[in-house]
Chains A and B, each alone.
Chain A
Amino acid sequence: MKVISVPEYCLGCGLCEIYCAAQHDGYDGNVLKAYKRGQPTPRSGLIKFSQISWLNTCMNCDDAPCLNACISGAVKRDEDGIIYIDENRCVQCYTCVMVCPYGHAQPSSKSGRIIKCDLCRDSEGIPACVSHCPNAALKLVQGGAEQ
């Protein structure tokens, strides 16, 4: 499972980032709480250049470079196939960042910890970025990417 972007439809508005951040770190999807009182940290970043933009989501690769390269066993895959970071094991060496072809996994600018898309696995329903995209430029699909 993964969220894919359709650059042809993406307006670059950034609502995906906003709702992503609000869905994490205990803000329970409350955008005001996250952005007025918190330190919102989107898991996926919007990439924009000239007229093209897309949300740089995690592909949950079948043979995942981040998972294979992790030196501490902190990168794990759950029963649903979602790759996530076990923060207790992460030593912030950034080897996963160095091998991710998409540049998806990134250190948080706030904590230095690795953050990545978890497909909103801790909440009900489809991922927040998909449900809040105003132009249907994000889709939840089956399968991972080949590497």
Chain B
Amino acid sequence: MKYVIIGGCIAACGAVEGIRSKDAQGQIIIIDGEKRGAYTRPLISYFLSEPSKYSDVDYRSPDFFKDRAVETIKARVELIDRPGQLLNLDNGEQIEYDRLLIATGASPIMPPIPGADQDWVKSFYTIGDAETIDRDIEAAREVVVIGSGLIGMKAAEALFKRGLKVHLVEKESHILPRQLTPGAAVSVHRHLARQGLDIITGEEVAVIHPDHQIELKNGQKLSADLVIMAVGTRPNVELAVAAGLEVRQGVVLDDYLRTSDHKIYAAGDAAETLNVISGKQEVMALLPHAHREGYQAGRNMAGMDELDQGSIPMNSVKLLGWNICSAGVTGARDGELLSWYSKEQLLEIKVRENYLIGYIAINMPEVAGPLTNAISKKIPAAAGEWQEFVERGPSLATIPSAYWQVLRRLEANGSN
């Protein structure tokens, strides 16, 4: 069997591990267009905050691919020839495949703001971006970050730690709009503002003027030596579209992570996979998911017929000393909201019938693991148990007993 993987990052590493868990012999080729090997993208903000300390951003050990007999070709794929089962590369080579994995990732969105094409307006997505910004801020004093998602927040934090004056502009009414409720966002916003971040919510950038003035739609002007654009990412699906595979927002997959061509699989930020809470196929561009999907696709490429279990949106992030974990749904219309807070801690959970469907935990990671798994494994509590969990004070001891019983069964199975 000859396996070919397009893309050389997290999903590809997962796929290699998945293939090798079932097939020690088959040939594996990775076609990787990025200069750098598999590195971990969330670490680029750590690199930017302190380059000397976080210069190593590799995801796996340097010998990871060699140890698993994986050949890497540094090139870009120009075309997937499905009838011929081969790839045309931009270096003129042709590579045949028996099983193909599309792990092409995503790219940052550059919104059509007038002036966004100037060379001091940067995306913050690759280690190359971080290295460029690291050089550019030597002489910089002030920066505007557009977008307060995870990438924008981590970029703002890194630049703030480097001593720059940081303005953060978010068009939604609160920061981290996909992770936090408006209520939970208030405390995080205040924490960051107290440290000295300038956060402007409910406002959009209208024009980026060549004289380094950033004009907002309300007329306010900010000055900046550098603008970081962090308004989101979109899946890299061009190859899949050109090959005639079914694509919505990301590459559409079946329950086995196969595309509409069953010799071709997809995983990671380019793919739509099952969100077990919404029951829909969605792009969930998160590192743990990329690895898990890659691993599962790899096993199925190697002949297994294992259903993908799906996953849920989840994140854990530290911002200027505060930890924020969130998972599942946080939207206003979903379920009953129960909340608990003390001085610098906050917990919001969302309950539908006796099921947990979402949570936000600020500075209380100790309960996050069981909550994440109660959502993703759909473990029901007895009536009133989630209410009690919050009322008695959230802790591992107050997690519903039904949850621990399910885990004990898993434990027993595993020790056989």
Interfacial residues, chain A to chain B (CB-CB below 8 A): 2, 4, 45, 47-49, 56, 59, 61-62, 65, 68-69, 71-73, 89, 91-95, 97-107, 141-147
Inter-subunit contact A106/B291 (CB<8 Å): no
Question: Is the CB of B43 closer than 8 A to any CB of chain A?
Answer: yes
Instruction: For B414, give its contact among A73, A95, A107, A144 (CB under 8 Å).
Output: A144
A91 and B46 contact, CB distance less than 8 A: yes
At the interface, yes or no: B36 with Cβ under 8 Å from chain A?
no
Chain B positions within 8 Å of A102 at CB level: 369-370, 407
- Tell me, yes or no, whether B318 is within 8 Å of chain A by CB: yes
Interface segment, one of B54-62, B173-181, B215-223, B348-356: B54-62
Is B138 located at the chain interface by the 8 A CB criterion? no
* Chain A residue, CB-CB nearest to B14: A68
In whole angstroms, how far apart are the Cα atoms of A8 and B377 in the complex?
A: 26
Q: Give the residues in chain B near A146, CB-CB below 8 Å.
A: 410, 413-414
Could you give, for residues 292-330 of chain B, a 1 whenever the CB lies within 8 Å of some chain A CB and a 0 otherwise? 100100000000000000000011111000010101000
Q: Judging by beta carbons under 8 Å apart, are B411 and A73 in contact?
A: no
Q: Which residues of B contact A98 (CB under 8 A)?
A: 314-316, 325, 327, 365, 368-369, 372
Partner of A101, one of B315, B325, B373, B416: B373
Inside 8 A of A101's CB, which chain B residues have their CB?
369-370, 373, 377, 407, 410
Query: B325 to chain A: which residues have CB within 8 Å?
Result: 94, 97-98
What are the residues of chain B within 8 A of A47 when measuring CB–CB? 396-397
Verify if B182 is at the interface (C-beta below 8 Å from A): no
| Docked pose: A107 CA to B60 CA in angstroms | 23
Known: A73-B40, A73-B60, A103-B366. A147 touches B398 (CB 8 A): no
With A47-B397, A97-B316, A98-B327 known as contacts, the answer to whether A103 contacts B291 (CB < 8 A) is: no
Which residues of B lie under 8 Å from residue A99 when comparing CB positions? 288, 314, 369, 372-373
Convert B28-59 into 0s and 1s, putting 1 for each residue whose CB lies closer than 8 angstroms to a CB of A: 00000000000010110010000000101011
Task: Count how many pairs of residues, one from A and one from B, have CB atoms less than 8 Å apart in the complex.
Answer: 113
* Complex interface: chain A residues within 8 A of B342 (CB): none
Q: Are B318 and A71 in contact, with the CB atoms below 8 A?
A: no
CB <8 Å contact, A68 and B323: no
- Could you mark each residue 280-292 of chain B with 1 if its beta carbon is under 8 Å from any beta carbon of chain A, else 0? 0000000110011
Q: Are A95 and B370 in contact (CB under 8 A)?
A: no
Specify the chain B residue showing the minimal Cβ separation from A67.
Answer: B291
Minimum C-beta distance from B402 to chain A (A): 13
The SS class assigned to the B binding surface is helix
Supply 8 A–B pairs (Cβ within 8 Å), ascending by A: A49-B398, A69-B288, A71-B42, A94-B365, A97-B325, A146-B413, A146-B414, A147-B410
Closest to A50 in B: B397
The reply on B415 being an interface residue by CB < 8 A is: yes
Assess the B42–A143 pair: CB atoms within 8 A. no
Q: Does B338 contact A (CB under 8 A)?
A: no
17 new A-B contacts at CB < 8 Å, known A71-B40, A98-B369, A99-B288: A47-B396, A49-B398, A59-B411, A71-B43, A73-B40, A92-B318, A95-B287, A95-B316, A101-B373, A101-B377, A103-B396, A104-B369, A105-B369, A143-B415, A145-B415, A146-B414, A147-B410
Partner of B416, one of A4, A48, A104, A143: A143
Closest A residue, CB atoms, query B42: A71
Contact check, A4 vs B327: say whether CB atoms are below 8 A apart. no
Chain A nearest CB from B300 CB (Å) reads 15
- Residues in chain B near residue A2, CB distance under 8 A: 415
**Residue numbers in A under 8 Å from B415 (CB-CB):** 2, 4, 141-143, 145
Q: Does B164 contact A (CB under 8 A)?
A: no
Q: Name A143's closest neighbour in chain B (CB-CB).
A: B415
Assess the B60–A93 pair: CB atoms within 8 A.
no
B residues less than 8 Å from A89 (CB atoms): 56
- Complex Cα gap A92–B365 (Å): 11
